[in-house]
Each structure stands twice: as C-alpha cells, then as structure tokens.
Amino acid sequence: MSEQVSTLTVTDNRTGKTYEIPVTDGTVRASALRSIKTNDDDFGLMAYDPAFTNTASCRSAITYIDGDAGILRYRGYPIQELAEKSSFLEVAYLLLAGELPSTDELSTWEDEITHHTLVHESIKKFIDGFHHDAHPMGMLVSTVGALSTFYPDAKTIDDPGLRRLQIVRLIAKITTLAAYSYRHSVGFPYVYPDNDLSYAGNFLNMMWKATELKYEPDPNLEHALDVLFILHADHEQNCSANAMRAVGSSQADPFSAAAAAIAALYGPLHGGANEQVLRMLAEIGSVENIPSFIAQVKDGKKKLMGFGHRVYKNYDPRARVIRQVADEVFKVTGTNPLLDLAMELERIALEDEYFIARKLYPNVDFYTGIIYQAMGFPVEMFPVLFAIGRMPGWLAQWEEGLLDPEQKIARPRQLYVGYDQRPYVPMDDRGAIADTEADPIAAQAAQAAPERPLR
C-alpha cells in the first residue's frame, strides 16, 4: 500500500530560496529537483548516483527484498516456501502472471514449455561456427540474440498473445541452447529434448545423455536443480535485470533484450561469484589453513568470496535453502572435500566478531558452486545455469517495464567533466608523438596480453 503523500522542504543556500518537493512511498522524483535553479538559464539540480545505489528506477510488484531482515519474496511468497513446495515452472508462472497457477493452468503452461524446447536446425550450424574452446556463456549470448532473426513476430511487442509466445519460447529454448553450448565445447553430439521429462530433467538429459536409448535423470539431482533454478529466478533490480529493462525500453524484441541480460550476467561480478568461491576454497586447501586465511582477509590481503551481498545485511535466505539442497545432492554424488572446508569456513566466520560487525553472512553463491561441481557441471557452465533460472524473472521485468505507462526509453543523465570548448588544432601544428608513453592508445596496446596464435 502506498504511503500518504507528504513533502520535503529544501532550502537552496546558494540562492536562499525554499522549495516544497513531494515525497511519495519514501522517494522524491528526481525530476522535481530540476525546479531548483540559481537562475533562469540554469539546467536545474540533478541527483548524482553512480551505479544507482540509492535510485529507484521503476515501480515493481515482482520481487520484494529486505536486506536487513534477510527476506526475499516472489509476488509476496517467501522464497523458502516456494523452494519447498513449488516447481520451477510453477514459480516462473507466478513471476509472470502475478498469481500461482491452478492445476489446469499449470498443466497447460508446462505443456507449452515442453513443446517449445526444440530449436531450428540452423541453430546447430550457428553453434558449430564457434571455436571448440569458446565459453558457453559467449555462445549463449549469441544464440539467444540470434533467435530474434528466427522469430520476426517477436518484434510485435504490443500484442499480448505474441508476447506470451516469445516468453514461452525463451524459457523453453534456453535450456536447449545452454546444453548445446556445453556439448559443442566438449565435442559431443547434440541431444534432442525429451518431452516425457520435467524441465530440469530434460536439461540434464540434453547435457549428459550418451548412448542409452532413454536417459533417466536421478530424481534427487533433478529436484535439486529445480530448486536451484527457483532460487535464481529473480532478484529485483540487479545488473542483468536492469540491462533487460533498459534494452526493452527501446522496444527491442525480448530475444535481443535477453541477450543483453545474459551479457550482463557474463561479468564475473554478477554471474561468476560461485566460481570465485571454488577458487578460494581450492586456494585454502584444508581446514587447517582456514585460520591463516581468515587472518589475511582481516588484513585486507585476501577476499572472503561468497560472503556479504550488495543488498543483504543478514543471512541470505537463499543460502539457508542451499544447505538443504547440498545434503540432497551429496547423498547421490558422495561427499565433496570442499563442502567440509566450506562448512568449517562458514562456522568460523559466523563466530568471528570481525565478520559479525560487518554483517558478512554467506550468500547464495557460497554453496552453489560446490553443488554444481558435484553434479558434474564444469565451472564455465555455472553462469549458464544462473541464466536458465533467471530467464522468467528477466521476462517478468521486461513485460512489467513495457506495460508501465511511466516508463520511457532509458536515458540517464551525466555530469560532464571534460574540456570546455577549445580550438581545433591542425595536424601540422600538433607535432609528432615520439614514444608510446605519450600516446595513450599505443601505451594500451603495449600492455596488451601476449600475442596469441591466429586461428
């Protein structure tokens, strides 16, 4: 429920003028600051907020996060309950439709997704064009974007029926594209989807099927992967969701917008955190080395990966669910020495006043990498798995932005800090640049990575 509208009284000490700025839902409109000027020619006051750390870019009814209390809810439902009682496709429906589906609605939805998992045969040729060591995430960015050329009706974004069709296509086909990217990287033949299997089970089929006539996924691993997809399904206005909304604001088709979101997730600060946790645990090596590693973290010499979060200042609610998923997975795969190391590291850190005072608690990435590794996924596939789970959230964010009458094409302002107007200098008057140190472009080239063989 919206708060009652009140006002904020602002006095501009430059001019002595006082302004009344409306306050709604705990926010002020940035455009209201434009009225605060020193003179008629003044552009007006702007808010400067690098990385949007304190700027609400939209109104959203999809995901609620209370970082201090450690709360995450999709459409009002606690993440713990959804992870325990729902399937991933049921949660996907919830995120997109706003309500949990009835039995008939869920059956229809699952049937739609199941029968849209096939991709055009030309997509295989497209993937075959990548080098064998191409990163699966790079292949996923490209192939998802390429789908827009296969479905020109996706550009008709003002048609609700066609929007739903593209949503179904993206949720269905991303598992196929993800599995094909992996199979290409290891030189295995592509596996067709199996309509008899669940969403997570079919993905495991396309990943791991070898010569057997019928792939039967382990039910524990199948369920664990489904839960992991739920935990990643949406997370408010994060970097990739912001990219999805920003590209979507230009009225680009959802395949192009999703490719941009995947590209944002490709960055190690967003989708690669669980890989960094594995590297950290491997570096620690054994339980005996944890105290010395903790000491180095306190001295600023090391980073404690998988702890702390931009939003959560409490225990990440997804991390609590992850612990249960880990138990389910390791019953099948056997114990992982990294798990014992991680649990001991968590125990020590949570009892240390240094980390308690800084509110550094385990986040969702702390255990997911260990689980994925135990299930047989290479580290290059970790962000790909993240993208599969996040696709419904991206699409919900995209459609919500599209239907919001307040939204326009994304176009942030800037604070220009460059030169004022200066006269053009003809080439003959500039002089020759004698060394690379004086030439910033040449200097950057000189510091580039060692030359690689041509392919």
Positions marked active-site: 309, 365
DSSP-assigned letter for residue 448: S
Convert 46-87 into a string of H (helix), E (strand) and C (coil).
Answer: CCCCHHHCCCCCCCCCCEEEECCCCEEEECCEEHHHHHHHCC
DSSP-assigned letter for residue 34: G
Element (H, E) at 449: none
- Greatest CA separation found in the chain? 81
> Which residues lie below 8 Å from residue 270, measured CB to CB, with a gap of 6+?
238, 239, 240, 264
Q: Which residues of 62-97 are buried (b: 16+ CB within 10 A; e: fewer)?
A: bbebebeebebbbbebebbebbeebbbbbbbbbbbe
Query: What is the rounded distance in angstroms from the CA atom of residue 4 to the CA atom of residue 2?
Result: 7
| Contact by Cβ (8 Å): 32, 22 | yes
Sheet holding 77-78, edge to edge: 63-66, 71-74, 77-78
Q: From the CB of residue 200, how many other CB atoms can be counted at a distance below 10 Å?
A: 23
Query: What is the rounded distance in angstroms from the CA atom of residue 323 to the CA atom of residue 338?
Result: 14
- What is residue 241's three-state secondary structure? helix
Helix, strand counts (H, E) of the chain: 18, 6
Helices 273-284 and 365-375: angle between axes, nearest 10 degrees: 80
Query: What is the rounded distance in angstroms from the CA atom of residue 186 to the CA atom of residue 134?
Result: 10
Strand partners, 210: none
Q: Is the dihedral of CA 220, 225, 226, 228 positive or negative?
A: positive
